[in-house]
């Protein structure tokens, strides 16, 4: 990003190629409207382009990129009144040591080979509360750590950790129910 | 943690949607556009040209000032001379500026006009092409006008090159060209007057001494005169410089005398004395008996 800010256009293409897929899936799976997701995709990259001169490497580029995406997405949710982007009751108080939803161990190798399970995973993901789904997507698509998720979403690290744990537990629970 | 890794692998097996190519192109185009220098991407004029751009108020003021200046300049060129050395002659008195419309409706013949020899010379100024274009006002047309008792009311078509042009129109055009001829001047020309229409510009009009007042004074140039009917007559004065210098005028008169052009010499000398009454004419230029 610093290279791009200094005028290296090729560095932007490398950045874009690295993050385009993850960001696109993050937005399309958070936003049910694909056209709206593509519009948000352009807006996020436009924000990157316009903010290149103000960019400071205080965090990973991916964290900054998904922070922009999160803010756009929250605005879009608020504007369209889709859902209330509010934490679920008790989720913020759920620390790492507290009990998560019970999940049975699945056979990953078997599940991975099954397209049906993968499709089921997406369905379960869509059923998650948006903050939890976002935490999962940021972790999987953006490769963000719990701290990065907290930074990108503007919540405490414990909250981000709790969201992620809840998301993983629910997904495991849903997949276990198939068996 | 191992469970999380298993779930991550399962998620990685889900369809990997990618942004369409159009979306990629739009983002790249936006990035390239932002990378271009602002001066190159700006559609407006260059900075130095923008600095030269005047406000609408200044432009409007400039247009008004230029328009007024142009109008005043044109009016100044068209206005008759104020003051000057123009002598108060009979011609001027009889062709006062306010008289033309009135004179057109009258029979302009006067006593002098009926006299047998009010020789009229018409010499169009060589430098005035517009005056030359009005041939009927020159020597060829005057006999026809004079032949008619009614003055300009009846002009035979055989002689007038502008027979189809009304007199008022011709005068208007003349006035526009600064070479107007007042109607009384036409009447002042004797019907039988021998006309001389020299083809060479320096030609001199044979005017009889008895009617020198019919001739236009030298100071009245054809460009802005209201003098009666004779246009371009300058009595041997070829240009304004000579016209305004008595010495040069006398020199030309002396040349006329030396050439034996007595009639022209007399007319010119009479006009000179009229123009410069206090000027002592050399004895060499005495009028021969």
**Domain ranges (residues) in chain B:** 90-285
Write out pLDDT tens, residues B48-91: 555 556 677 788 888 999 999 999 999 888 776 554 444 444 44
Among residues A62, A80, A98, which one ends one of the domains? A80
The pLDDT-based confidence of B265 (bands split at 50, 70, 90) is: confident
Interface contact flag, B10 A50, Cβ < 8 Å: no
Beta-carbon-side half-sphere exposure of residue B4 (alpha carbons within 13 Å): 9
In a domain, A96, yes or no: no
Q: Kindly report the backbone phi and psi dihedral angles of residue B195, in degrees, each rounded to the nearest multiple of 5, phi listed first.
A: -100, 145
pTM: 0.42
Among residues A39, A64, A80, which one ends one of the domains? A80
Q: In terms of Cα–Cα distance, which of B131, B92, B115, B111 is closest to B228?
A: B92
Helix (H, G, I), strand (E, B) or coil at A72: helix
The pLDDT-based confidence of A146 (bands split at 50, 70, 90) is: very high
Q: Which residues pair with B182 in a beta bridge?
A: B228
The partner residue sitting opposite B6, judged by closest CB among A50, A52, A108, is A108
In a domain, A148, yes or no: yes
Alpha-carbon gap, residue B266 to A165, rounded angstroms:
133
Contact A75, A150 (CB under 8 A): no
Tallying the residues shown for chain B, one arrives at: 289
Domain count, chain A: 2
- State which of A58-62, B135-139, B145-149, B239-243 shows the largest mean pLDDT: A58-62
Q: Which two tokens stand for residue B265?
A: 């010499």
Nearest residue of chain B to residue A165 (CA atoms)? B4
CATH classification of the domain holding A146: 1.10.10.10
Write out pLDDT tens, residues A33-55: 888 899 999 999 998 888 877 77
Mean pLDDT throughout A107-133? 77
User: Which chain A residues have a beta carbon less than 8 Å from that of B8?
Assistant: 140
Among residues A43, A63, A80, which one ends one of the domains? A80
Q: A112 and A72, same structural domain?
A: no
Residue-number span of the structural domain to which A68 is assigned: 2-80
pLDDT of residue B51: 55
pLDDT of residue A83: 56
User: A51: how many CB neighbours lie within 10 A of its CB?
Assistant: 13
Q: A21 and A74, same structural domain?
A: yes
Q: A125 and A63, same structural domain?
A: no
In a domain, A89, yes or no: no
In a domain, A101, yes or no: no
The partner residue sitting opposite A46, judged by closest CB among B7, B20, B30, is B30
What ipTM, to 2 d.p.? Answer: 0.76
Q: Is B14 an interface residue toward A (CB < 8 Å)? A: yes
The partner residue sitting opposite A41, judged by closest CB among B4, B11, B19, is B19
Concatenating the DSSP letter of every residue in A9-67 gives: HHHHHHHHHHHHHHHHHHHHHH-S-HHHHHHHHHHHHHHHHHTGGG--TTS-HHHHHHH
Interface contact flag, B34 A41, Cβ < 8 Å: no
In a domain, A97, yes or no: no
The partner residue sitting opposite B4, judged by closest CB among A12, A13, A168, is A168
Interface contact flag, B10 A28, Cβ < 8 Å: no
Calculate how close chain B gets to A108, using CA atoms only, in Å.
5
pLDDT of residue A40: 92
- Non-local (6+) Cβ contacts of A118 within 8 A are A111, A112, B10, B11, B13, B14, B15
pLDDT of residue B226: 38
Residue B281 has pLDDT above 60, yes or no: yes
Write out pLDDT tens, residues B190-238: 444 444 444 444 444 444 444 444 444 444 444 443 333 334 445 545 5
In a domain, A36, yes or no: yes
pLDDT of residue B68: 92
CATH classification of the domain holding A16: 1.10.1740.10
A:B CB pairs within 8 Å: 84
Alpha-carbon gap, residue B86 to A1, rounded angstroms:
91
């Amino acid at each position: 990003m610093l290279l791009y800010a200094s005028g290296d256009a090729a560095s932007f293409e490398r950045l874009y190629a690295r993050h385009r897929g993850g960001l696109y899936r993050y937005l399309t799976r958070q936003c049910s409207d694909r056209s709206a997701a593509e519009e948000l995709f352009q807006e996020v990259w436009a924000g990157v382009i316009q903010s290149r001169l103000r960019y400071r490497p205080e965090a990973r580029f991916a964290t900054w990129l998904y922070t922009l995406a999160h803010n756009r997405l929250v605005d879009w949710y608020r504007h369209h009144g889709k859902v209330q982007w509010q934490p679920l009751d008790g989720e913020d108080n759920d620390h790492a040591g507290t009990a998560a939803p019970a999940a049975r161990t699945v056979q990953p190798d078997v599940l991975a080979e099954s397209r049906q399970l993968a499709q089921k995973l997406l369905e379960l993901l869509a059923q998650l509360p948006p903050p939890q789904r976002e935490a999962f997507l940021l972790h999987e698509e953006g490769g963000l750590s719990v701290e990065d998720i907290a930074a990108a979403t503007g919540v405490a690290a414990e909250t981000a950790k709790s969201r992620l744990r809840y998301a993983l537990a629910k997904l495991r629970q849903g997949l276990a129910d198939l068996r | 943690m191992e469970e999380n890794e298993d779930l991550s692998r399962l998620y990685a097996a889900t369809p990997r949607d990618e942004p369409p190519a159009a979306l990629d192109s739009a983002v790249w185009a936006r990035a390239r556009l932002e990378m271009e220098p602002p001066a190159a991407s700006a559609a407006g004029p260059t900075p130095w040209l923008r600095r030269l751009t005047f406000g609408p108020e200044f432009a409007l003021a400039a247009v008004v000032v230029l328009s007024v200046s142009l109008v005043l300049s044109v009016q100044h060129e068209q206005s008759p001379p104020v003051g000057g050395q123009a002598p108060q002659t009979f011609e001027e008195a009889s062709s006062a500026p306010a008289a033309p419309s009135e004179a057109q409706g009258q029979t302009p013949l006067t006593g002098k006009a009926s006299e047998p020899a009010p020789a009229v010379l018409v010499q169009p100024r060589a430098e005035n092409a517009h005056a030359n274009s009005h041939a009927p006002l020159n020597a060829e047309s005057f006999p026809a006008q004079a032949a008619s008792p009614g003055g300009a009311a009846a002009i035979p078509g055989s002689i007038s090159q502008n027979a189809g042009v009304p007199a008022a129109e011709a005068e208007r055009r003349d006035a526009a060209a600064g070479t107007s001829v007042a109607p009384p001047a036409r009447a002042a020309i004797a019907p039988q007057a021998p006309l001389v229409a020299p083809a060479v510009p320096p030609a001199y009009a044979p005017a009889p001494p008895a009617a020198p007042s019919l001739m236009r004074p030298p100071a009245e140039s054809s460009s802005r005169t209201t003098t009666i009917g004779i246009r371009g007559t300058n009595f041997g004065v070829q240009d304004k410089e000579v016209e305004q210098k008595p010495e040069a005028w006398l020199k030309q008169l002396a040349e006329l005398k030396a050439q034996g052009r007595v009639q022209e010499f007399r007319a010119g000398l009479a006009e000179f004395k009229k123009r410069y009454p206090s000027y002592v004419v050399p004895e060499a230029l005495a009028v021969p008996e």
